[in-house]
Structure 1
Amino acid sequence: MNDQQENKKVVWLASYPKSGATWTQGIIRRAGIHYGVPQGDFDVYKLIKSGGNPPTSKTIKSEIIEERCAILKTHRAWNGERILHSEIPFEMAAFVHIIRNPLDMLLSYINFTRIQYKNQPTNSRFQRKLFMEFMGFEKPLTLDVWLDMDLENIPKKNLDCALKNFTKNNLQVPSLNLVGGNWLEFNLSWMKAAKKFPSVMIRYEDCIHSPSAYSALTEIFKFSEENILDAAKYIEKARKEKSSDQDKQVFYNKMSSYYYLDFFSSDFIGNFLQKYQKEIELLGYPDLPTTK
């Protein structure tokens, strides 16, 4: 354990991959810019890889913690302990649980695989698991073909195949299971954590509908609701600006809610909901639609 890390505290931004943590990070950084919120990346995995120490600040409400505290983003399911990542042994002071409905998350993941593929263009195992085993293509697609193929151009039968496998395999998706477990395990674990630590849950869909949903952050952070709304306007303006960065275009593609209805067949959506309705209701989605 690094001496500088001993007895330090952290507020986690906990989300399953492709569920809105990066957007939430941007809101917190901007809303807290005059409150000392660190302006770097909150990604714990990058921090672990670099071997650095998390920056800390006194931006958390004093009734939660009075000393300086780190703010970090994780995709790991809660392990039942105060320390989540042994590589950075900060004790949890509080957390923000960001959740997104699993069907939109699945589409966002499929979209994100273009960046994953570009970062590992010769990984034949990744190609086989994604294209053949998960999405039902007869053979892996080339990198150039996949980079040019947005969601609207993927055959519906292959998207339905992905949903069928997602349903059959307990909401696991290739590569993400190694990071956060499956969607259910991850989100249920943080619901359990909410019984032990100060926390707020934020639904991605609510924030898309109205940035005021982020006002729940004021239960943990010192900044105001007005700061949050100003930050949301700033982030939205920045997102809409045209960028030559293809990865950013992929990363922020389809910032909308319940768009799965445009891509999956209603029968496959119905089968999914029939199997997981109880768990999904428990996690805050009692009325996911099957048709537009």
Structure 2
Amino acid sequence: MIVILLATYPKCGNSALSFPLVLAGQLADSSYTGYDNLYKARLAHLRDNALPFKAIPGQETTIIKTHNIFKQPSDLITPQGEVSKVIRIIRNPFDCLLSALNFLRLEAKNSNNLAKIKPTIDTLFPHCKIIRRWTSPKRFAKIFTLDNLAKENLLDMALQSFSQSGLTLPFYYSVCGGWISNFESWSAASVPTLSLRYEDLTPSPSAETIHSIAEFVKTDRELLAKAFEYQLENVNQQKSSGSLFFNKASKDYYLNYFTAKAVNQFIDYNQIAIQRLGYEELITHIRGLD
């Protein structure tokens, strides 16, 4: 069994790559019958935290998604076998934070509970008391939108708090670490590793990006390209339907929510880390906003 691990900090693109990889496998053996059925197949395999992948000729392969920070060699041992390759994905910190905020709405709605997300809300919005005694999960999901937060001038506060906490979020910290530490930890894994950026996967990856993924995974480039086309069609449909998960599924949308002053201040305190993780052009772009 070939086990390929997709390792990302939450909201950095795990689903953006896992679905096309699995879909490419279904296209390879002509079992693809529509995105709804692919989604059902994914849910069925979540019990084992694995996704079937059949696009490598003559090989039984499994894709496993993880948000865990890498700590030790035993992290490469899974119930499906020993991990042979790792694909790690990073996303710019501004969009990552906004996507995480949006996901808190989904968590509140699905769990019907605010207890898990309250420490993160209190950390990002100190002294604001966004979650009050009378706040229900349903009401939270309704009012806790990026647009509402922007109207209240709260998003700059969240960005500053995210920076002050070392680019970590309490909701994820115990398992995932932080935005920087999660991505960098996987460089210590003693297996071949491919590094990607979310921005290079969405809305559509370039031919060069598809080629690098196909070469690393050893699968067919044309099938993978077709799979990404189907992925984009589905995302657009989900966004049109008002899905909370895909509410703002795009890149660089932070420009619509944070002020130039806030993002420049964020860069001042995190420039070295942002450069180290491959976002030099992001710094150049933001400096040009003045």
- Range class of TM-score, shorter chain: 0.7 to 0.9
Task: Give the secondary structure class of the aligned counterpart of 2:235.
Answer: helix
Q: How many residues align?
A: 270
Partner of 2:146: 151
Q: Distance in 2 between matches of 1:13 and 1:189?
A: 13
Deviation at 1:132, TM superposition (A): 3.2
- Aligned 1:22-37 pairs, distance under 5 A: 22-35=15-28
Aligned partner letter, 1:14: A
The whole-number CA distance in structure 1 between the counterparts of 2:175 and 2:161 is 19
The corresponding residue for 2:180 is 184
Task: Say which structure is richer in helix.
Answer: 2
Query: How far 1:91 moved relative to its partner?
Result: 1.4
Match of 1:252 in 2: 246
Residue 70 of structure 1: CA displacement? 2.1
Is the 1:98–1:204 contact (alpha carbons within 8 Å) kept by the matching residues of 2?
yes
Match of 2:66 in 1: 74
Q: Distance in 1 between matches of 2:77 and 2:193?
A: 21
The match for 2:271 is: 277
Fraction of identical pairs, as percent? 28
Query: What value does the CA root-mean-square deviation take over the aligned residues?
Result: 3.0
The separation in 2 between residues aligned to 1:43 and 1:175, in whole angstroms, is 26
Change (3 A) 1:43 1:206: farther
Alignment of 1:1-292 (within 5 A): 9-35=2-28, 40-41=41-42, 46-47=46-47, 52=48, 54=50, 59-60=55-56, 68-81=60-73, 83-84=74-75, 88=79, 90-124=81-115, 126-127=117-118, 129-136=119-126, 137-140=128-131, 142=135, 143-149=137-143, 150-155=145-150, 156-193=152-189, 196-208=190-202, 210-212=204-206, 213-241=209-237, 249-288=243-282, 289-290=285-286, 291=289
Distance 1:225 1:159, change over 3 A: same
Could you tell me which runs of 5 or more consecutive residues in structure 1 were left unpaired when the two chains were aligned.
1-7
After superposing the two structures, state which structure 1 stretch, 228-237 or 88-97, moved more. 88-97
Deviation string 1:112-159 (CA, Å, 9 cap, x unpaired) is 1011112333444633x2333322423416333332232112145321
Between the aligned partners of 1:191 and 1:80, the Cα distance in structure 2 is: 12
Distance 2:163 2:174 in 1: 18
1:140 partner amino acid: I
CA distance in 1, matches of 2:239, 2:230: 16
Deviation digits for residues 89-110 of structure 1, max 9, x if unmatched? 7311001111111110000000
- The C-alpha deviation readout for 1:148-193, integer Å capped at 9, x for no partner, is 2321121453211211111011111131112311111101112343
Quick one: distance in 2 between partners of 1:236 and 1:53? 24
Letter in 1 for 2:276: L
C-alpha distance in 2, partners of 1:139/1:53?
34
1:54 Cα deviation from its structure 2 partner? 4.9
Using the alignment, how far apart are the partners of 2:238 and 2:198 within structure 1?
23
Partner amino acid, structure 1, of 2:42:
D
Post-superposition offset of 1:244: 9.2
